[in-house]
Amino acid sequence: MMRLYKVHHRLSHFSSSCCCLLHPFSLGNARFPSSTLRSFRHLRTDSTNLFKPAMSAFRFNRLVPVNSSLAEDGSTAGNGSANASLTFAEDDDESVIGVKYRVPPPEIRDIVDAPPLPALSFSPLRDKILFLKRRSLPPLAELARPEEKLAGLRIDGKCNTRSRMSFYTGIGIHPLMPDGSLGPETEVSGLPDGVKINFVTWSNDGKHLTFSVRFEEEESSSSKLRVWVADVETGMARPLFQSPDIYLNAVFDNYVWVDNSTLLVCTIPLSRGDPPKKPLVPSGPKIQSNEQKTIVQVRTFQDLLKDEYDEDLFDYYATSQLVLASLDGTVKEVGSPAVYTSLDPSPDEKYILISSIHRPYSFIVPCGRFPKKVDLWTADGNFVRELCDLPLAEDIPIASNSVRSGMRSLNWRADKPSTLYWAETQDGGDAKVEVSPRDIVYTQPAEPQEGEEPEILHKLDLRYGGISWCDDSLALVYESWYKTRRTRTWVISPGSKDVSPRILFDRSSEDVYSDPGSPMLRRTSTGSYVIAKLRKENDNATYLLLNGNGATPEGDIPFLDLLDINTSSKERIWESDKEKYYESVVALLSDQKEGDIHINDLKILTSKESKTENTQYYIQSWPDKKLCQITNFRHPYPQLASLQKEMIRYERKDGVRLTATLYLPPGYDPLKDGPLPCLVWSYPGEFKSKDAAGQVRGSPNEFAGIGPTSALLWLARRFAILSGPTIPIIGEGDEEANDRYVEQLVASAEAAVEEVIRRGVAHPNKIAVGGHSYGAFMTANLLAHAPHLFCCGIARSGAYNRTLTPFGFQNEDRTLWEATNTYVEMSPFMSANRIKKPILLIHGEEDNNPGTLTMQSDRFFNALKGHGALCRLVILPFESHGYSARESIMHVLWETDRWLQKHCVSNTSEVSADIGKNKDGEGKEVTDIENKAVAASGGGGAELADDIESGQFYSKTRSLM
């Protein structure tokens, strides 16, 4: 539920709660059903998104809930403390072994070192905007801090929070003037020098901010987080707790506003002593048993508990004491210490949902699957009743749409004072079980009458996906099924049992052209968010606002439609400029008053950008649709301001239409400059139909956002960049997409290479290919099975041997034993002997992503080296799946630039003129691979953990600020 307004910053973990954070490199139209709002802190994030493709990762078009962490890979600025440890040498011997950290050439380094822009956050009342000031890329020393790897988490024991947290350096408060302009800034003051700010949170009435502060003092306990509060009008800040001994426990949820003057805070228990010490001699052997012959299939999760000592250590850091703290200084401990994971006040501020996890723990699944208990408390800290106590869930099937049994998605109704709702599976959580209904949604008052049973709200044949609430006459229920890509939206009347539910939308989730958009939500006086109802003059119809991306064959053209909820007729009231600009609706701002919104009082926040103009934000008001610009951000990299961008379309040999974005350097003239060296950077996607795979996604007018590891950086080195060429892997009907993975991968790559050569922008024997995570897997496969296309490859943080991920990977939910040939044929490790083109492998030494363990690159490199391949392996100390430290990022750029200059720009080898055939005359499909031995050594997981209980939580996207 969208009551809280938190902002925090992490390097490698996205975790969010509820409100509007506008981030200059990550802005736009986030859309969430109200049922998932309280779970924003569990927003699933695949760090590969930072790199797939890298140039689209910062498109300036995402609205991020305020508690969402913005990966600081997006920050772009130098850091003096980091510079001292970097060396740069002009020499480049053949091996370059044993080098220290290097930096790339100035034309790349200057872009990455550009000062970062602030993040923005609107107040609950929409009358003020925060400018959250950010620092540069962090130094490696911060990543080198000790961390505990426990139950799927990485914990900084010194701060008692998740490790590798980024932070804000200051907060500026701007009033939003009546004419829509910004007033003068008030800086939050009273903070000590060098303070690091996290978890910025608005009070419900918008009068106060709370946030955590910490300091970096060696061997000092002051690095633990303290809670501070600031007056929004004056900007004066002070500690929330008068006692210096009360610290925040931020391993899970950390604090919430219970009302406008009281917070419920997870604190480190005062009675806690020193961490448990690891025994020199274990109490016994490590034993796992399955004597009941239970079928337990799990993907390879990382950082799991290993023994009793780890269990004790997890309890030590994760256990909190709940404290009610008032702004007047009153402090009251409530409840007993426990591992509390979420705190959720009811809209009427009378109750709080308290979630916790408890023993028995598991050594094979992360903490998201530990036994989970949800209790109901009063707002003053008194226990009311237990809502559920779910057992350990080690046996959730790996099939897509499989879930945990029992009550799940337990939330408050956003349109009621204190009414609960939740879903329960009827198939035991196993997506392979055929049953109708598959899910049932229940509702019940917080304190039901004696003997009052939960009421069935709705039954679903697909998997429940959330609810957007409006009132007793209207709510929208979402369901979907991954295997068929089917998604449905139901209209229900929660307060009228005699009104039958009806389907509003029934479509394929892959068919972006038919996407009607999502309903926009408005804020209520209680701080919750409900579907906004609109009305017109002399019109009794009920209208909703549908905010959509507007995918078309010419690219996205975002829109705002008025939907008559009774007749389903639509009227378009706003649409993006389709000629030069890309505009999108970010949020609804006309929700200060209760009740329906008159169309003439409509006010929205929009973003606007072009190929060469970075995103700015505007307030647009009806009825005259007057625009008022509220930001004036500088161009982040003016040296590339005149880059050339074009969305291109071409066709695969099997008739599938493909799309890519072609970028050319500033001032490039094809007649004068001729073909350029080209870098193709992409990431495969899976589809159920050729038509869906061929649809255009994205806009040719979007600003070219460049992150610190983006392929677009090589525009400054006069490369052509083919960004995100569609690499569709299609499995139509009963066919699984991966059964023809290599064949379709090569066909897509051939079509892309043929197109850039046909256009005369890419030199045929100077085309490199690269990708991150699943894109690295793609890169290795292309060098193995299509060596005629590329001169070299760059593969970052990839997995190369699918037998190491035997219980599924990516979107593959068959096991190795069910699809042995597929696992083997897809694995470039099995074709290491075929890779003859130079390949650069880069991997974080502490990769925590399921399926891409660091050993994947290590073993692949040894296999390549064992067959005499030209290869290089770079392991980045302390880095995880995505790269964060300035030293690491600069070195990755140096390695990549060196590789491209040496094996692409300077390449003089001949290439076959026949793009449809390997240079060696080999066919494009894997040959004789079925007879090869399967080296199933166990372990491994998926690049994209699609299990909500895996510890990498996520929320289904819908419309909301």
Q: Which two tokens stand for residue 621?
A: 């008001």
- 847 catalytic residue (yes or no): yes
Q: For position 918, what pLDDT does the model report? A: 45
- H-helix segments, 350-457: none
Region label for 145, one of left (φ > 0), alpha (ψ between -120 and 50) or beta (otherwise)? beta
Where are the chain's structural domains? 117-279+294-395, 643-905
Q: For position 119, what pLDDT does the model report? A: 92
In this prediction the pTM is 0.86
Average pLDDT over residues 103-129: 93
Average pLDDT over residues 867-874: 97
Strands (DSSP E) along 128-283, which ranges?
128-134, 148-150, 153-156, 161-162, 168-175, 186-187, 196-202, 208-214, 226-231, 237-239, 255-259, 262-267
State whether residue 891 is helix, strand or coil.
Answer: helix
Q: How far apart are CA 626 and CA 619, in angstroms?
A: 8
- H-helix segments, 191-279: none
Pick 117-279+294-395's CATH classification: 3.40.50, 1.10.357, 2.60.120, 2.130.10: 2.130.10
Supply the DSSP symbol for 397: -
Q: For position 617, what pLDDT does the model report? A: 94
pLDDT above 70: residue 516: yes
pLDDT for 453-469, tens place per residue? 999 999 999 999 999 99
Given 75, 480, 773, 959, which residue is catalytic? 773
CA 575 from chain center: how many Å?
A: 27
- 773 catalytic residue (yes or no): yes
Q: How far apart are CA 192 and CA 203, in angstroms?
A: 23
- The band of 915, judged by pLDDT with boundaries at 50, 70 and 90, is low
Return the closest-CA partner of residue 124 out of 587, 469, 618, 468. 587
The two beta strands, 720-723 and 762-772, are unpaired
Q: Kindly report the backbone phi and psi dihedral angles of residue 388, in degrees, each rounded to the nearest multiple of 5, phi listed first.
A: -165, 160
Q: For position 733, what pLDDT does the model report? A: 84
Q: For position 291, what pLDDT does the model report? A: 87
Q: How far apart are CA 308 and CA 393, in angstroms?
A: 19
Q: Are 7 and 65 in contact (CB under 8 A)?
A: no
- 35 catalytic residue (yes or no): no
Return the closest-CA partner of residue 836 out of 900, 803, 789. 789
Q: How far apart are CA 513 and CA 362, in angstroms?
A: 44
CATH fold match for the domains 117-279+294-395 and 643-905: no
Q: How many residues does the chain have?
A: 961
pLDDT for 10-64, tens place per residue? 333 333 333 445 544 332 333 333 333 333 332 222 333 323 333 333 223 333 3
Mean pLDDT is lowest, of 179-183, 260-264, 384-388, 922-926, for: 922-926
- The band of 525, judged by pLDDT with boundaries at 50, 70 and 90, is confident
Given 113, 253, 315, 847, which residue is catalytic? 847
721-730 CB burial, b ≥16 within 10 A, e <16: bbbbbbbbbb
Average pLDDT over residues 234-242: 96
pLDDT for 933-951, tens place per residue? 333 222 233 343 333 333 3
Given 208, 785, 881, 891, which residue is catalytic? 881
Q: Kindly report the backbone phi and psi dihedral angles of residue 266, in degrees, each rounded to the nearest multiple of 5, phi listed first.
A: -85, 115
Average pLDDT over residues 637-647: 95
What's domain 643-905's superfamily in CATH?
Alpha/Beta hydrolase fold, catalytic domain (3.40.50.1820)
Q: For position 96, what pLDDT does the model report? A: 67
